[in-house]
Amino acid sequence: MSASLLAIILLGLSALAYYVGRSKALRGASAGTAVRLHSLPVYYGTYVALWVGLPALAVAVLWLFLEPQVIQALLTARLPEEARNLDPARLSLLIGDIKNHAMGGVTSTELTPALQTVADYFSSLRTIGVYGMTTLSVAAGLAGLAVAWRHINPAFRARHHVERAIRIALIAASTIAILTTVGIVLSLLFESIRFFSLVSPFEFLFGIQWSPQTALRADQVGQSGAFGAVPIFAGTLLITLIAMLVAVPIGLFSAIYMAEYATPRFRALIKPILEVLAGIPTVVYGFFAALTVAPAIRGFGEGLGLDVASESALAAGLVMGVMIIPFISSLSDDVINAVPQSLRDGSFAMGATKSETVVKVVLPAALPGIVGSVLLAVSRAIGETMIVVMAAGLAANLTANPFEAVTTVTVQIVTLLTGDQEFDSAKTLAAFALGLVLFVMTLGLNVIALRVVRKYREKYD
C-alpha cells in the first residue's frame, strides 16, 4: 500500500517538475526576443523531472533495501536475554513470528508478554518506516528540483543532459543480461558451496547411491542420506539419448525435404504446422506422455512379454524427442539453406542426382551447423523439466534399460525443492548443486554450439 502510494506521489511530483521546468525555460525565452531556447521545451521539462524522480527513487529503493536489516538489528537488541542467545536459524524464526504477530498473521506459538512488547515495538517501527521513507524520498525529490531549477535558462543545453541520461539507461538495460548471469552463477555457487561443506564433492560427482531423504532421528536407517549423483546423470543421459534418437533423424530428414524438395506451397503450409510442435507447452507434452504414451508402451511391452515400468525412460525420451523435432528441423533448415547454390549447381553439372548432391555435397558443407543445432538440442533435452517430472520416475536407478524408470537432474531439483522443508539441510542444498551441474553442462554445450554455428556461418558470407 505505502509503496504504491509513494509511487503515485513521486509520479505526481515528477509531472509537476516537468511542467515547472518547461514553463521556466519558455518564460526565459519569451522575455527577451533575442533569446532563443537551445533545446526543445520538452527537454527542459524532462531534465527537471529526471532530477526530481531519480533521487527520490534512489532514496526509496535504498530505504527498502536497508530497512529489513535495521529492523532486524533493532528487534534483536530488544529481545530478552535467553532469546538473543538462540542459534541464528531459531532466532530468525522467532523474529518472523513476532513480525507475523504484529501484522495480525498466523503464528506458530503464543507470544510471551516480553515478546509482545517487542511485537508492539515492531509495529511502531513499521509506522516510522513508512513515514520516514515517504518524507525522505520526497525531500530528495524536492532537493533535486531545487538543483535543476537553478540550471534552467534558455541557453542551457538541456537536450544533451537528457540524452546522456537516456544513454546511461540504455547501457544499464543491456547489462541486465550480465547481471542475470552473475545472479544465476552466484546463487548456484553460494548454495552449492554450503552443500559441499556438508557432502564431499567427490562423493557427489562419483558416488552411485542417491537417496536424499534424511531421517528425522540420528539412530534411524539412512539418517545421513546419500548424495552420489551418478545414477541421476546416467538417467538424464539415457533419456536424452532416446530423445535424440527420435529427434535427429526425423528433424534432419524433414529439414532436408523442406529445404531441397518441397514446393513453396507445401513449405508454406507445413512449416508453420511443424512450428506448432515447438509452441506447445512442455507441461502438455508431459501430460501426453503420462496419459497416453507410457500406458501404450507398457501395453506394447507386456504384449511382447517384457516387464515395463509404468514410468519408463522410453516414454519420457520419446515424447521429449517429439518436442525437440521442430527445434532441430528449423535450425538445420536454416543451415542447409545457407549452403550456396553454386555448390549444388556444380554437383548437378557433374551429373549427380539430387539425393547424391544432398548427401555428398550439401550435408558435409552444412555439417558444422547441423552439429551445432544437435548440440543445442541436447542441451535443451538435458534441461527440460516438465516432461520428465511427469513421465520419468523419482527413484534413482542406475540402468541402461529404457523400459525401467530412471530419474533426471531436473526431476530431482523439482522434487527436492517443492514441499515444505528448511533451507539449510543437505537435501535442499543438493538441488542447488544439481542446478549448478545442469547450468555448467548446458552452458558448455551452448557455448560450443554457438561457436560452431557462428564459425560456419562466416565461411560463406
Between residue 373 and residue 432, which ones bind other proteins under the rule CB under 8 A?
376, 379-380, 382-386, 389-390, 410, 413-414, 417-418, 423, 431-432
For residues 436 and 189, give the distance between their C-alpha atoms in angstroms, rounded to a whole number: 7
Please report how close the Cβ of residue 355 comes to other proteins at its closest, in angstroms: 4
- Which of 148, 314, 358, 378 forms a contact with other proteins (CB under 8 A)? 358
User: Which residues share a beta bridge with 211?
Assistant: 226
* CA nearest neighbour of 372 among 459, 455, 439, 440: 455
- Which of 33, 174, 263, 342 forms a contact with other proteins (CB under 8 A)? 174
Stretch that binds other proteins, among 73-81, 114-122, 123-131, 159-167 (CB under 8 A): 159-167
Residue type, 5: L
355 binds other proteins (CB under 8 A): yes
- Which of 90, 450, 455, 460 forms a contact with other proteins (CB under 8 A)? 450
Kindly identify the residues of this chain, within the stretch 289-348, that bind other proteins according to CB under 8 A.
290-292, 322, 325-326, 329
Binding track, positions 273-292, relative to other proteins; x by CB under 8 A: xx-xx-xxxxxxxxxx-xxx
Please tell me the chain's helix, strand, coil percentages from 3-state DSSP, rounded to the nearest 5: 80, 0, 20
- The Cα diameter of the chain in Å comes to 100
- Which of 30, 187, 197, 421 forms a contact with other proteins (CB under 8 A)? 187
For residues 38 and 156, give the distance between their C-alpha atoms in angstroms, rounded to a whole number: 6
Please report how close the Cβ of residue 293 comes to other proteins at its closest, in angstroms: 9
282 Cβ contact partners less than 8 Å away, ≥ 6 residues apart: 323, 384, 385, 386, 387
Please report how close the Cβ of residue 273 comes to other proteins at its closest, in angstroms: 6
Binding track, positions 103-122, relative to other proteins; x by CB under 8 A: --------------------
Kindly identify the residues of this chain, within the stretch 241-270, that bind other proteins according to CB under 8 A.
249-254, 256-258, 261, 270
| Pick 281 or 303: Cβ nearer other proteins | 281
Cell numbers found for residue 189: 555457487
| Pick 138 or 320: Cβ nearer other proteins | 320
Helix (H) or strand (E) holding 274: helix 264-279
For residues 294 and 313, give the distance between their C-alpha atoms in angstroms, rounded to a whole number: 9
Please report how close the Cβ of residue 207 comes to other proteins at its closest, in angstroms: 22
Separate counts of helices (H) and strands (E) for the chain: 18, 2
Backbone phi and psi for residue 174, each to the nearest 5 degrees, phi listed first: -80, -15
Stretch that binds other proteins, among 10-18, 185-193, 209-217, 222-230 (CB under 8 A): 185-193
360 binds other proteins (CB under 8 A): no
- How crowded is residue 422: how many other Cβ atoms within 10 Å of its Cβ? 9
| Pick 187 or 200: Cβ nearer other proteins | 187
Is the C-alpha dihedral spanning 416, 417, 418, 419 positive or negative? positive
Please report how close the Cβ of residue 318 comes to other proteins at its closest, in angstroms: 9
Stretch that binds other proteins, among 24-32, 120-128, 198-206, 355-363 (CB under 8 A): 355-363
For residues 323 and 319, give the distance between their C-alpha atoms in angstroms, rounded to a whole number: 6
In order of 363, 445, 453, the CA distances from 327 in angstroms are 18, 15, 15
193 binds other proteins (CB under 8 A): no
Stretch that binds other proteins, among 19-27, 109-117, 164-172, 204-212 (CB under 8 A): 164-172
* CA nearest neighbour of 408 among 282, 246, 231: 231
